[in-house]
Structure 1
């Protein structure tokens, strides 16, 4: 039997007649759907891809692959010129920059001989900081730094101490201030009035930043000079001589103030003139009091008077000759002019002619005679005593040299 006759006809919608098995759509319908899908994908690739991913669409890529120079848009038919894509591969490069060398050690070494100077560098600029004594040292340090290989300029920040120390000294009343610098060590010269001013000036100079203490003291102090010069006159008793500065004047004034006692106006004037003659003293305030001669001065004056004009007596007698009376009158004037309570001993001496005992008694009578004349002339009786020494003292080779009257302060 022929099985073909009994076969059942298949439906057009059977799987064999479908393009995509399992999709319950007729084959012609599937073809239409697939065409629509293809068109959609092409449009999506053309218009949406660049907006979403920022690059060429797959369509463009495939087209450009066929003709990179000129491609005809298959959808619109318009020619679109797409430049060829050139891919550049950048090779990593190695930097050829060379770092500048650090010149700080070289600069520091170049200025190491200058005490108080620190050297460094910022690139090719040398930097100097610290302290130097003088402007010349600052310039020398800068020149040493500039000589370093690679240095193009020098930033000199050094502080010059010389002027700072001088200013500090002048503010402390140092006149003619001179500062001698050895590195950061200072020596101070100039004129000051007294020891207190000297110490003040040294402290002020030593306090300047950068100075290595202590400051060497070569100041000239006026007060000891005035004291020594006026005292050497030996005319002022109970003297005190002070030198002070007058900062109200420029240059600073140096005023010597003198106090004490003298026996005469002449002595007072001499003391002032001596003080004023000392270099640096600009004025003298003379407060010395004239009180008359001192006991020592009176005694010296009387003996000088009697040595110049010895008192003459009648031979072997205590009678005073008339030629000696003017000398005794001068002695009266000296003694009555004394303001103090002087006490003197009138002493008589003889030569060696005659007996020793006789000469002793004669000397006593002659001393008493002179005392009596002075008292009668107005000298205070209580201020004078008399005594004879005979031939015990030899004043000269001649006999006449030893016949004399002298005074001794009690």
Structure 2
């Protein structure tokens, strides 16, 4: 398999980078599997592995016991195939009709929710070799390894609408699709699934109603087909909190990266009967690029929302909101901080596109240009994680994580295997 970390130009010339701990992802998958030991685990690595790098996240998940991967886009699945990853890859939404041929050519499992998609799959009569767009130089090997041939039935999953009201097929449509797929000579029903809307909340009534609707649908379909297809319902939250949702497969996203989707889920997971824990897998680090003394009554950064009340030592750190640091955590009300020499140092003034400013007055006499700065991660006895940023920015940890890898190089942490 290809190296799981970024090797392109991005980040090589900067004093800021990300570190990915593959061992943490492996641990997190094993931990989540402990809640559903009879189920396979599908690791969701869409959106560039939630900002962790899709290939690295996939490799870490596989080493922890994931047997299926899930992505949102055909392009995301192709990236994993080109990296040499050959376990099943599920598309979580029906792709555009014109993209289905590439999905199949690269050995991805499409989710379908419309008759048009099924019609298209049943009428793909051109050799699969023509569907390898921009294939790697070893094209023959790609086709041999991942391409389907015309006498093979293609696996598909049907997504059933039970209450999310976003992208599932209505009950009647899902029933018709499932029966048609089961009787097709071009495709076969590899899975049946739904998605829970409120599994991370304390009140589980909506989730339980969704599970009940899905179970009723499943029972009706089995009566028609005479067999029960593989099913999956659970996301990370439901894997931990809703035993009735744990079916043949559990789909875990945010949990494999080291975060619970809510405090309610985290409290349930902390039950003394559960062993192990989640470990955040991504760190954001930088080095101080400048240090200067700033006189009293001087403003810091755009807008001068922070004004010094005494002589201050201010360090500039070369990372900003273009790298996923929320602009607002530098506001006077947010009290955002970073770690330098094992101590929390407050961010002063708005976070700008490429830089932020930190008060290091408490470290005067020891702090130097080039010192390491931990924005997310741990240093000595202190730690700052993405859920702290999410709280300060009044958003969710998902949104924090997915924006950090846009232009920062991802490097292996000291805990990751080579």
- TM-score, scaled to structure 2: 0.21
Instruction: Please say which structure displays the higher CA radius of gyration.
Output: 1
TM, length-normalised to structure 1:
0.21
- Using CA pairs under 8 Å that are at least 6 residues apart, name the structure with larger relative contact order, 1 or 2: 2
